Amino acid sequence: MRIAGHEIREYFRLLAPLFGLIAAVWTLRLVLAATQAPPGVVRACSVSVTGAISVLLAVLLIHMRRFGGYLDVAVATLFLIVWEQVLISAAIAFTILTGIENVYSAPEYSFRGLGHWQHIAGHMTFGVGSGTLLGSLMGCLLLWLLRKMVPLGEKHAGA
């Protein structure tokens, strides 16, 4: 399947280190919370912030590797945000299945009054939608700035 002129596996190859970064921060946050690290340390280890940083890094990769344009930024953003939200939802689903609370299902890190299923639904709808929209806007702006300030020139044969 091709999206914006690239096979999906090309996107995954480009974004693999960023998927790993998001998963590493997700795991670190689980571990920090389980070891009862100070709340400020747990909050500082944010998967959402890592997702936003990953989008910016993806834009740098897209620009430097001449991977594509604005549509590629939007596709990369969608993949990264979906991965982020799936990981968070999986941690909440773990609580549903086992009854063992974790940092992602704790009331202080979610909206008050929501059940776990509603929390997951919120991440998979509002989280994916707003994260992709805002991330794409931020990423496209950065790509535009990079193209204006750091033009790469024409691609040479054999390069």
pLDDT per residue of the chain (159 residues) written in tens, 0 to 9: 888 888 999 999 999 999 999 999 999 999 998 888 898 898 899 999 999 999 999 999 999 999 989 999 999 999 999 999 999 999 999 988 988 888 888 877 777 677 888 989 999 999 999 999 999 999 999 999 999 998 877 554 444
Residue 32 lies in a domain: yes
Number of domains in the chain: 1
Residue 125 lies in a domain: yes
| pTM, to two decimals | 0.89
**Vertex 126 angle, CA 4 and 105, to 5°:** 120
Residue 127 lies in a domain: yes
Farthest-apart Cα atoms in the chain, separation? 60
Residue 121 lies in a domain: yes
| Domain limits for position 86 | 2-149
Residue 39 lies in a domain: yes
